[in-house]
Every structure is written in structure tokens, then in C-alpha cells.
Amino acid sequence: MVTKRSPSLNKPLLSVAEVALLLGRDRSTLYDAIKEGTFPLPIVRLRKQIFIPRAYVERLLGGKDSSNGSENSHCSKCGKHLAS
């Protein structure tokens, strides 16, 4: 029997599966958005694995979307801070 684990509170990078669980979406939906370049958060590729920084996921879930052009916005591709 396979059990879904909730994402650890101290991991700085989350897997696509963990982010999908947090966002209430299918894993395949997130992979499709990443492939199409429409995923709204920066991603980190390590070998063949894809991770999303926890801080960006928490910001998105907290209503502080980094793609809205606010003074704290970041590049959705590389995560660098954008000048206001």
C-alpha cells in the first residue's frame, strides 16, 4: 500500500508531486505547464528531477503571487528579483 506523505516542513525544495498535492492539482498538469513554459513559479532541475522552491509555493498559497508585478516580484524562469 502506497501512502502519500505530506511535504516536510524543512525541505527548501519540493518535488512536483508534493507541489501538486499542496495545490490540489494532478502531477501531470504541473508537468505539462512546466513543459509549456506556463508554470508560474521558478523550477530547479537536478539531473532528471524537477523541484520547486518551497518559498515560492508558500508565497503563491498565501496570495502573494510573484507574477503579479508587485515590488517583490521575481522572474518566473530563474527566480531572480526584478527591479521595481
- Distance (Å, whole) CA 10 – CA 62: 18
Residue of 49, 63, 46, 62 lying closest to 18 (CA atoms): 49
Each residue's pLDDT tens digit in the chain (84 positions)?
555 666 556 789 999 999 999 999 999 999 999 999 999 999 999 999 999 999 999 999 986 544 444 445 556 555 555 544
User: In the prediction, which pLDDT does 69 show?
Assistant: 42
User: In the prediction, which pLDDT does 59 show?
Assistant: 93
**How large is the angle between the packed helices 54-61 and 16-23, nearest 10 degrees?**
10
Q: Over the stretch 60-83, which tens digit does the pLDDT of each residue have?
A: 998 654 444 444 555 655 555 554
On whether residue 71 sits in a domain, the answer given is: yes
User: In the prediction, which pLDDT does 66 show?
Assistant: 45
On whether residue 24 sits in a domain, the answer given is: yes
CATH number of the domain where residue 39 is located: 1.10.1660
User: In the prediction, which pLDDT does 82 show?
Assistant: 54
- Distance (Å, whole) CA 16 – CA 78: 17
Q: Which residue has the cell 513559479?
A: 41
Structural domains counted in the chain:
1
